Amino acid sequence: DGCEIYASCEPCPMCLGAIYWARIDMLYYAGTQDDAAKADFDDSVIYQEFCLPKEKRQLPSTQMMRKDAVKVFDEWIKKENKIRY
């Protein structure tokens, strides 16, 4: 509780995800996504891809081994000494 993070620029998608997972209370940043793009750190395609259905994204993907994955989640749900996110 009460954690803040300071960044030189708006976070990239990966860093922004980590900030959300860490439950940071406030983000302060200097540069914008546009500033980063002008310096060849353009993440706009990634942000756009997030909004698309999987079948329309540039990166092909397919689901596999769902039953095995669900077993892992089921074990996590049963775990008594877990740290909830």
Q: What's the rounded mean pLDDT across residues 73-78?
A: 94
Quick: pLDDT tens for 4-43. Answer: 999 999 999 999 999 999 999 999 999 999 999 999 999 9
Identify the pLDDT of residue 83.
83
Domain boundaries along the sequence of the chain: 4-78
Identify the pLDDT of residue 84.
80
pTM of the complete model beyond 0.85 = no
> Exposed e or buried b for every residue in 43-52, given b needs 16+ CB within 10 A?
beeeeeeeee
Rounded to whole angstroms, the Cα distance separating 9 from 68 reads 39
Looking at CATH, the fold of the domain delimited by 4-78 is given as Cytidine Deaminase; domain 2 (3.40.140)
